[in-house]
Chain A
Amino acid sequence: MIASLKRNPNTIRQGSVVVDIVLLVIALIICFITLYPFYFVIIMSISNPQEVAAMNVFWFPKGFFLGSYELIVRDTKMWWAYSNTLIYVSAGAFLNCLMAVLGAYPLTVRGLIGRKWVVGFILIPMYFAGGLIPSYLLVNQLGMYNTMFAVIIPGMVSIWNIILVRTFFTTIPEGLKESAFIDGASHWQLLFRVVIPISKPIIAVIAIYSIVAIWNSWFDALVYLPNEKLHPLQMYLYRVVVQQSVDLKTLSLQDTRNAVENMLSNIQLKYAIIVFTTLPVIFTYPFFQKYFIKGALLGSLKE
């Protein structure tokens, strides 16, 4: 019946081609607005430095020049920062997943005494927090100031992640747990042998959420880590790109100053360093995108 309706002349305007074309054009404009800045940064970073300095590059790279990248790759501070970030990301992601699982599991057990109180205890900090300065003083008094712990430990529990994992756990059939109990399992065994193995999708979501968040974070390091040796990549970027306190051109002073290096423009160096430090995120982005969306959707479920 619906098929016959579709041939009804009255419904032709449903599929108006004009509307579709207008929508398509708007969508293309939106894509352009979000993608062009990145594209611009990339083509600026590989074009001929003179063209870059003259702001002649708009649509296609003009010339081809990788000298900026060469200079960056030779900067040991950048590699320090890169390896620090890897430490922060791996430790942080692991701890985040572990804590989210440990926090979420007991909340899904029916017989938990005082469940309401525990949930309240966990949720209140979402709405009210002590703020920057009391947290700073606390980290100081715990002796974590200017150590790697200051950016790993305080952030290892995310209430949001606990809620996400809890939501997922509630979808696990009760019967599965019951049968494990009948076989004599304790809650520890149930959690690590049954629940975690079948919760890989949500753990992947949490892991990716924390990886990207930690990879991109800089403010904690700004506040807690005066020692540059401990700085993550984003702090290095902050010093170079925003504060401009690192003059990349001086990095190569000990080398013979050839004509090519004199051609380097500071702005191109900045673009190159943005590309170089953002590349891992951009490259892995298509792979983890589906996990991200899954997480956002799970999180939107009403408690």
Chain B
Amino acid sequence: MRATRQPGKRVSFRLRENMQLYLIMLPVLLHIFIFSYIPMYGIVIAFQNYYPGKPFFSFESANWVGLQHFIDFFNGPYFGRLMRNTFLLSFYTLVFGFWVPILFALLLNELKNGIFKKFVQTASYLPHFISNVVVAGMVLSFINADGIINAMVKLFGGESTVALNTEPGYFPAIYTITSIWKSFGWSSILYLASMSSVDPHQYEAAKMDGANRFKQMLHITLPSIRPTIFILLIFAIGNLLSANSEFILLIYNPMVYETADVIGTYLYRDGLLGGNFSLGTAVGLFIALINFSLLYVANALSRKHSDYALW
């Protein structure tokens, strides 16, 4: 607007301005290029026989093997177990955990006493701030043969003195419960935020129509947070094949691999520690592609049927 009377000057001003702006962004753009895009290019080693020390930029020395590593993974002894565990652990957290923050937010919304409400909220966030290592350390000592869980079982007359962390059957429950415990309070923030934007007049109107608290919740509060629910559900579905392997790595052990070993932990153990870089990259790519397709499908379905979508 400043220079509409002098078109020539405006162009040079715009160019200079843009040079400045790009200079400001340069460190960020460079960083993203190096640490996000070069690793994406690095995926090419999934189609090669890569050995450590060889640069993955060079095409001449590359030993192309096509889809061999994918085929090896599909036919490998762990494929079924890994896919099942990865899917199941995320599925459990989704099915048993997704609605917990919603219910919790509804509960908080109904609490009238300000100070008490704050206290409950603060208490529920706390686990979110504690590191995975500490949570894992706590969980491991609680489920130990002489940990508090077994002590409680005995207190109520049970006989169980089994170490829960050596019993594959218990792992999914331990993982799911801990995940929900760690995140439900924090996840409820977004729901609470969208509840607080509801017009109070709606509640007044509903009251006049004779709606009780439960009905107000069902017909006003819940519909008003529906967009948030849908968006978070889409994200959760997009992560169905990425169980929290950083946390599993902390609480699992070889005795429970049967139900605990997931793609991420296998990738770390066999791909990184075992030096199978090409196979590991292939596995990572396979999962990333499935996750992205799931996200895409969930988003498309949601946009078609409910108008809520990420893009």
On A, residues with C-beta under 8 Å from B are: 2, 5, 10-11, 13-14, 16, 19-20, 23-24, 26-27, 30-31, 33-35, 37-38, 40-41, 55, 58, 99, 102-103, 105-106, 109, 111-113, 118, 121-122, 124-125, 127-138, 141, 153-154, 156-157, 159, 162, 181, 186-188, 191, 212, 215-219, 223, 234, 237-238, 241-242, 267, 270-271, 274, 277-278, 281-282, 285-286, 289, 292-293, 296-297, 300
Contact = CB atoms under 8 A, between A and B. Distances in A.
Contact of A278 (B130, B210, B213): B130
B190 A300 contact: yes
A22 B176 CA distance: 27
Contacts of A277: 134
A153 B37 CA distance: 15
Interface in B123-161: 123-127, 129-134, 136-138, 140-142, 144, 146-148, 151
Nearest to B117: A27
B45 interface: yes
Contact of A242 (B42, B120, B133): B133
Contacts of A223: 268, 272
A128 B133 contact: no
Interface stretch (B82-90, B91-99, B105-113): B105-113
Contact of B133 (A35, A136, A237, A292): A237
Given A219-B249, A274-B137, 14 more contacts: A35-B123, A35-B126, A37-B142, A112-B21, A124-B36, A125-B36, A128-B292, A130-B40, A132-B280, A134-B43, A138-B34, A223-B268, A234-B131, A281-B130
B65 interface: no
A125 B283 CA distance: 18
A188 B32 contact: no
Given A30-B124, A128-B40, A130-B39, A281 B146 contact: no
Nearest to A113: B18
Contacts of B198: none
B171 to A, nearest CB: 15
Contact of A16 (B124, B204, B213, B228): B213
Contacts of A186: 20
Question: Number of contact residues on B: which range applies?
Answer: 35 or more
Interface string B202-240: 001001101011000000000000001000000000000
Given A242-B136, A278-B134, A138 B35 contact: yes
Contacts of B246: 219
Contacts of B272: 132-133, 136, 223
Given A127-B295, A241-B137, A300-B193, A34 B123 contact: yes
Nearest to A241: B137
Contacts of A141: 55
A37 B138 contact: yes
A125 B119 CA distance: 38
B280 A55 contact: no
Contact of A14 (B144, B213, B267, B285): B213
Nearest to A53: B146
Contacts of B119: 31
B123 A31 contact: yes
Contacts of B28: 99, 102-103, 122, 157, 162
A212 B132 CA distance: 12
A134 B45 contact: yes
B290 interface: no
B200 to A, nearest CB: 11
B56 to A, nearest CB: 6
Given A102-B24, A102-B25, A219-B246, A131 B204 contact: no
B78 interface: no
Contacts of B122: 286, 289
B250 interface: yes
A5 B208 contact: yes
B40 A106 contact: no
